[in-house]
Amino acid sequence: MVELANQQCTFCGENKATLQEDEIDIPHFGRVFIFSMHCDACNAHQADVEPAEQKEPCRFTLEVTSEDDLNIKIVKSGEATLKIPHVITIESGPAAQGYVTNVEGLLERVKGVIESAAESEEDPNAKKKARNLIKKLNKVQVGRESLKIIIEDQTGHSAIISEKAQRSKL
């Protein structure tokens, strides 16, 4: 692992950011580079995952039906689009992050995005819809409801690592 301390933060400009780069081998996926930045001054954090190898564009689909599914590993590159039908679509873009997590961690990230959007919303109907989406995700996390997760990646660098996941060409 390579670590550089006291670097300039891209968010606040203070020289209190730590940059890290690591290369790991993820079973069933391959070698990836993990890049991260954390600033002690403003607490900003940014991370990305980049593959060490070229791959074909792909789509992974997973039906989450039980609490056991919350432990399924997910690798999402910064170029991937995440879709949870009837809940959210998160497109890739310049601010998109790559990460390695599990289904539970992904659902927590999605809840955070929904909560953040709801805070800036003035429409009471939109706030109510956000609360209902968060309730749905909470029910999924305790095994009382199911949902589908779709990850589409033009670069082929994302994966859902499970026998339950269906992989197809994009």
Tens digit of each residue's pLDDT (9 = 90 or more) over 145-158: 999 999 999 988 88
Tens digit of each residue's pLDDT (9 = 90 or more) over 118-169: 998 899 999 999 999 999 999 999 999 999 999 999 988 889 999 999 999 9
> Counting every residue, how long is the chain?
170
Answer with the residue of higher pLDDT: 117 or 26.
117
Cβ(19)–Cβ(3) under 8 Å? yes
What was the pLDDT predicted at 145? 96
Q: How far is CA 58 from the centre of its chain?
A: 16
**31 pLDDT exceeds 90?**
no
For the entire predicted model, the pTM comes to 0.77
Tens digit of each residue's pLDDT (9 = 90 or more) over 53-92: 878 999 999 999 999 999 999 999 888 999 999 999 999 8
Sorted by where each starts, the structural domains of the chain and their CATH numbers stand as 1-53 (2.20.25), 55-170 (2.60.120.1040)
What was the pLDDT predicted at 161? 94
At 43, phi and psi to the nearest 5? 65, 20
* Residues in contact with 107: Cβ distance below 8 Å, sequence separation at least 6, in sequence order: 70, 137, 140, 141
What was the pLDDT predicted at 29? 67
What was the pLDDT predicted at 112? 94
d(C-alpha 3, C-alpha 7), whole Å: 10
